[in-house]
Amino acid sequence: MPVVPDPTVLHPFPDQPRVVLLKPLVTSPLIEVGEYSYYDDPDGPTAFETRNVLYHYGPEKLVIGKFCALAEGVRFVMNGANHRMDGPSTFPFPIMGGAWAEHFDLITGLPGRGDTVIGHDVWLGYRTTVMPGVRIGHGAIVAAGSVVTSDIPDYAVAGGNPAKVIRLRHTEADIARLLDIAWWHWPADHLTRHLRTVMSGTVDGLEAAAPAPTP
């Protein structure tokens, strides 16, 4: 009898080393990833933490939900990329060392935008760039090549530079129902039984398939 896929396996498709599950890959305490979220890259997907999460000096976190699909070249620019902008120059002189290092206080404690949060069931297209402190809602889709500089609502399709909402995937009433159903939190065996409904059914059908609330 087929078993539910193992969320702790690094390469879920043995013949496709370009695909990695992120939860068993990441080691940084500043990155949180939900089960089954994956990254696809033919050129070193296991280097995700260093090649795709940039300027991550903390303390802000990158949080990625469950069942997210990240296409090749997706980048997260974190708050460490900030430069001082209140003076005549933005150049970070102290990092060059020498006598300039005495002024390191000029580049520490710069204001940040907080954690970067990607919801559950989010699809980030090829070479999407996500800027610091952005929240991308559950069920959102971001088009290839987009630069996300501000929050994207739940179940929105967005694209462009800067990314703008193109349309919503469902009516606002159905989005509220989907958020309440939250299929990504279903037990694995229950999700497996209703996979066709999750992938190709209706909101009504998904609501009917939801497990009974725990007393």
CATH number at residue 149: 2.160.10.10
Q: Would the pLDDT of 113 be above 90?
A: no
**Is 148 among the domain residues?**
yes
Percentage of the residues of the chain whose pLDDT score is greater than 90: 85
**Is 215 among the domain residues?**
yes
- 77 and 57 share one domain: yes
* 190 is annotated as an active-site residue: no
**Is 100 among the domain residues?**
no
**Is 104 among the domain residues?**
no
**Is 132 among the domain residues?**
yes
pLDDT digits (tens, 9 = 90+) for 14-23: 899 999 999 9
- 123 and 215 share one domain: no
Q: Range of 211's domain?
A: 171-215
> H helices of the chain, where?
48-51, 172-181, 188-193, 195-200, 203-209
- 123 and 213 share one domain: no
- 77 and 115 share one domain: yes
Write the CB contacts of 6 (distance below 8 Å, at least 6 apart in sequence): 12
Greater confidence (157 vs 107) lies with 157
Percentage of the residues of the chain whose pLDDT score is greater than 70: 99
> H helices of 7-161, where?
48-51
- Alpha-carbon distance of 26 to 4, in angstroms, equals 22
Q: What residues are paired with 135 via a beta bridge?
A: 117
Q: Would the pLDDT of 214 be above 80?
A: no
- 34 and 66 share one domain: yes
Mean pLDDT of the chain: 95
- 44 and 67 share one domain: yes
**Is 3 among the domain residues?**
no
**Is 10 among the domain residues?**
no
- 73 and 137 share one domain: yes
- 162 and 186 share one domain: no
- Alpha-carbon distance of 95 to 102, in angstroms, equals 10
pLDDT for the residue 1: 56
**Is 162 among the domain residues?**
yes
Distance between the two ends of the chain, CA-based, in angstroms? 31
- 121 and 162 share one domain: yes
pLDDT for the residue 129: 98
Q: How many structural domains is the chain composed of?
A: 2
Of 11, 56, 83, 120, which residue is the catalytic one?
83
